Structure 1
Amino acid sequence: MEKKILIPSNFTKHAWNTLVYALNLYKDIPCTFYILNTYKVSSRISLGRNQTADLEAAKAESEKGLQKIMQGINFRKENQKHQFETISRNKELAEAIQEVVDAHKIDLILMVSRGENVSINTAFESEISEVIQKVEDCPFLVLPEQMQSLPETNREIVFPTNYKFSFKNKELSALIEMAISLNASIRVLYIDSLGKPLTKEQEENKESLKSYFTKVDFSFHKLTQTSVTTGIHLFIESRESNFLALYKRRQGFFSKLFSQKFKEDIDFNPKVPVLILKELE
């Protein structure tokens, strides 16, 4: 089945590298890539004709930048499984992304974080965390600036959960599809900070994951005597895992990563790409 992937671009080198990474990541998968650029003209007291001229100039610059991206893609002679569409919008980034997601039924949004780590905490990366917070009904894949090439074998996606809540199949579909398309294993990680046995409800939720992951290789893992963030970091580093998948509920620990209120309490900046799954109605 063809995937529809949205990549916002501000025409920087890092935005181009994100696109190239996506093309390599999904080289064997039929995809339509939607490349989005947004622009805003500052509102000010001036003659209406000057505002119009500024708007037209910004639009022309946006369309020119998108055209250059297409020229770069054509020069690379990408494979026939990939199609491309460019979109220019005079809107705020989150609003434009939501519009494209709704109009084109986007499966995945790719963005790049500044720096060597993926900074999704609002204390470090306000634009990405703001967009993730506002855009609904679509998962994100957030990449570090310095993206490492994937190994040919033994690829892993780490998926932390406390088993306290059940999942919907559609909420995990992006994780399952990524594992299948990349021939990667899913490592379900439980951090037992309190040293207590799982409750009956937790056991049931753990069992339900088995039914969702029947088409992929997966395993369950447990760490004790560590915090959630430290445990995740240690697990990824010790196994040299390639991706991290976070399930973002409206309430709960990982929702705090996207809240300015908790910026003093959470230092969470993984060095691997982070797939952010959204809680759905």
Structure 2
Amino acid sequence: MKNMLVLTDFSNNAYNALYYATRLFRDVECRIYLLNVFSENTPLISPNRAKGKNRNLLVQLEEESREGLEKDFHRINLDAPNEKHLRKTISRKGNLPDIVHEIVADREIDLIVMGNTGKTEAIPVFMGSNVINVVKAMPDCPVLAVPREKECDIPFEIAFATDYNRNYDAQVMNPLCFMASICKAAIRIIHINEEGRLSSNQKTNLNTLREYLRDLRHTVHWMPDFSSKTEVINTFLEELGIGMISMIYYRHGFLENLMRERVIKRMSFEVEVPFLIIPQAD
């Protein structure tokens, strides 16, 4: 049985991520933990509910957290009933990455699911700040970021963007292979042609990658190096009608460099398909 942790701030975007996850894993037996984390900096959903009662802020936040979780719990059970899914709620006070790290270890979580942007991120961005913080805090648990308030289909093709500079192993490949297997999706390997030709190390890593994917449909694609790598990826996703994209997160690796691109280059680029991020400790 798979263990899935879904993060929510009770926004439409967060519920959309929960709903997508239940559809994606509809045929998989799994425990789904719905988590809300609050702190003194969390805005009240109903700021006037305790007006004149001089109630403690954290007490109000805890109540709203539990009420919001209960509401989403009943809503998802109505929208997407599934006997294969055991659903539970968790309300916690603290720092989001720290709480997520603790729960992933305690509950042996296989996948974290969250909306790509939350209530405080109204402007389209390549990757939301909460997603980035969770990815950086989790060296060994994949994260699935779902586009905001967008109905996503089960992917028939998954793009895997990589520079071939790191060796591939079972820890980083299993989440991608599992996702492709349950979706019956082909994997489209995308490499941005920065160097002209692959080094001997890159060729070795490519061969290792293809060996891991030998039982799955896959193809290798080379893309020209535009002024912005996000532009390259966006073009690839649109041209091939890709339904999901995946990358491995290494410090100082391809994905981190992508996130560091000058804002002016990537401010208009929003990932419009689910994004599977596979962290790997260096």
Aligned positions of 1:44-193 closer than 5 A: 53-76=56-79, 78-114=81-117, 119-120=126-127, 125-150=128-153, 155-193=156-194
Report SS of the residue matched to 1:27: coil
Aligned positions of 1:231-270 closer than 5 A: 231-259=232-260, 263=263, 266-267=266-267, 268-270=269-271
> Residues 31-84 of structure 1: CA distance to partner in whole angstroms, max 9, x if unpaired?
111100111136xxxxxxx99943333222211221222222333461111111
**Change beyond 3 A, Cα 1:7–1:85:** same
Q: Partners of 2:173 and 2:21 in 1: how far apart? A: 20
Q: Which amino acid aligns with 2:21?
A: A
Report SS of the residue matched to 1:269: coil
Report SS of the residue matched to 1:10: coil
Q: Partners of 1:244 and 1:116 in 2: how far apart? A: 21
> Residues 139-195 of structure 1: CA distance to partner in whole angstroms, max 9, x if unpaired?
1111111324426xx71111111212211211121111100011111101111134x
Give the match for residue 215 of structure 1. 215
Deviation at residue 257 of structure 1 after TM alignment: 4.0
Kindly report structure 1 stretches of 4+ aligned residues shifted beyond 4 Å. Answer: 115-118, 261-268
TM-score, scaled relative to structure 2: 0.85
Q: Percent identity?
A: 29
- Long gaps (5+) in structure 2: 42-52
Report SS of the residue matched to 2:77: helix
TM-score, scaled relative to structure 1: 0.85
Deviation at residue 203 of structure 1 after TM alignment: 1.0
> Residues 211-245 of structure 1: CA distance to partner in whole angstroms, max 9, x if unpaired?
21123211111123535332221111111110111
Q: Partners of 2:77 and 2:149 in 1: how far apart? A: 24
- Long gaps (5+) in structure 1: 43-49
